[in-house]
Amino acid sequence: MTNPNSDPIRAYYHTLLSTWGRQHWWPAQSRFEVIVGAYLTQNTSWTNVEKALSNLRQARRLSLSGIRRTPQATLEKLIRSAGYFRQKAQRLKTFVRFLDRRYDGSLSRMFAQPTAQLREELLALNGVGPETADSILLYAGNHPVFVVDAYTRRILERHELISPRAAYDEIREQFERALPLVAAKAAGSQTERATGTPATRPRGSSHPPSRMSTAPRSPIAQVFNEMHGLIVGVGKNYCLNSRPQCDTCPLRDFLPNDKMRRVTSA
């Protein structure tokens, strides 16, 4: 009989969480800030997003009413550091109009919708692909969907868990099948709240605690949240695009045998 704990996705989760602890991702003070960040992070680094968010915050525009009342040309200047600023400003305006028209400007009403329905509505908006939609659903709305990004695909391809042609939803569903067992075991337990080894550096993609990163979540949303942050940490610090640092990666022991031999002999 197959051991239910032998799934590699679950093994990755336990290994990374015990190494790095809580990642406190997504760093934000409000649900709307998460949504703005999800739009701004498209095709750019989080450092550039933080600059744009800081500009919006200083200008008192990091809110629904702030985006709504800001002329698009002004909004473009405020988010210029995030790149593609004209498209992103227009997309933020489009989201606010959608929220106003469909949900009377209420994020609570929007997030109260069934996950599948809301996901389709978000995907129908200009500039919202699966990663952006799922980031909004998970991090702002506490919906149990896993976010797949380029790091996720790269790591799973190199570990031969997916094919290079795997579709986004195929990868997402792989995580969504594997991780509910982790959430079920963690519910009511302190085991999955490890803080990691303080001296361990880098600590994945960890950020200081924020209002959103410490907000109450369902057990499964919390596990999806942590797993995505942990995967980002591996991608940023070890599973690099051109020069992967496999010999020091926390997931080194999970490499396929032929790749492990190459790492060992390097």
CATH code of 92's domain:
1.10.340.30
Residue range(s) defining the domain that contains residue 248: 4-22+147-188+200-265
The pLDDT assigned to 55 comes to 98
pLDDT in tens, 98-116: 999 999 999 999 999 999 9
Give the tokens for residue 86: 């004209």
Same domain, yes or no, for 18 and 56? no
Q: What is the pTM of this model?
A: 0.91
Of 248, 230, 215, 249, give the one whose Cα is nearest residue 17: 230
Mean of the per-residue pLDDT values for the chain? 91
pLDDT in tens, 21-57: 999 999 999 999 999 999 999 999 999 999 999 999 9
Which residue type is seen at 155? I
CA distance 139 to 135: 6
Total domains, the chain? 2
Of 153, 190, 214, give the one whose Cα is nearest residue 26: 214
Spell out, as residue ranges, where the chain has pLDDT lower than 70: 1-5, 187-202, 258-266
Cα separation values, 86 from 67, 81, 90, 96, 168, Å: 14, 11, 6, 16, 27
For residue 44, being part of any structural domain is answered with yes
Please answer whether residues 40 and 191 qualify as being in contact, where contact means their C-beta atoms are separated by less than 8 angstroms.
no
For residue 193, being part of any structural domain is answered with no
For residue 194, being part of any structural domain is answered with no
Same domain, yes or no, for 161 and 126? no
